[in-house]
Structure 1
Amino acid sequence: MKIVVDAVKCQNHGQCAISAPANFELDADGKLQYRELFDEGNFSDIEDAIDACPLQAISLNDDAHA
């Protein structure tokens, strides 16, 4: 499973970085950086980040061929 962020929707609010700092962060310019892959132990944090995004720009892609 991979994290997918819709760059068109994302406005760098950073709520995901608060919810799941192991996978999301704002860089020095305030732009979102994220890691597509994550440990199963962080799944709850990733779900929280998805829920926290005010623009619903984050999703999970479970296509094994993606």
Structure 2
Amino acid sequence: MRVHVDMELCQSHGQCVFAAPAVFSFDEDDNLVHQETAAESMREAVVRAAAACPVRAVHVGPPDEGDVSGGAAA
């Protein structure tokens, strides 16, 4: 699945990091970093992360066509 963070909106509250630490983290300068694609097995955690974002900066989408980054994972 595709994971997008609107960095114009993001205020680094970190709720996404708590909800899905395998996908979201902070770098050494406390800037949010994230994977642009994540395995389908992570969908529930990433959706929780998007819902937890107080400024709604996190968006979850379907995998790109031809994406094999874990679409078969359950």
Indicate whether the TM-score tops 0.5. yes
State percent identity of aligned pairs.
35
SS in 2 for 1:43: helix
Gaps of 5+ in 1: none
Gaps of 5+ in 2: 66-74
**2:9 match:** 9
After superposition, give the CA deviation of every residue in 1:10-47 in whole Å (9 maximum; x if it has no partner).
Answer: 01111100000000001121100000111111110000
User: Quick check: which has more Rg, 1 or 2?
Assistant: 2
State how many pairs are aligned.
65
- TM-score, normalisation: structure 1: 0.89
**2:71 match:** none
**2:64 match:** 64
Quote the Cα distance in structure 2 between the aligned partners of 1:64 and 1:50: 19
Deviation (angstroms), 1:63:
7.1
- TM-score, normalisation: structure 2: 0.80
RMSD: 1.4
Quote the Cα distance in structure 2 between the aligned partners of 1:44 and 1:24: 14
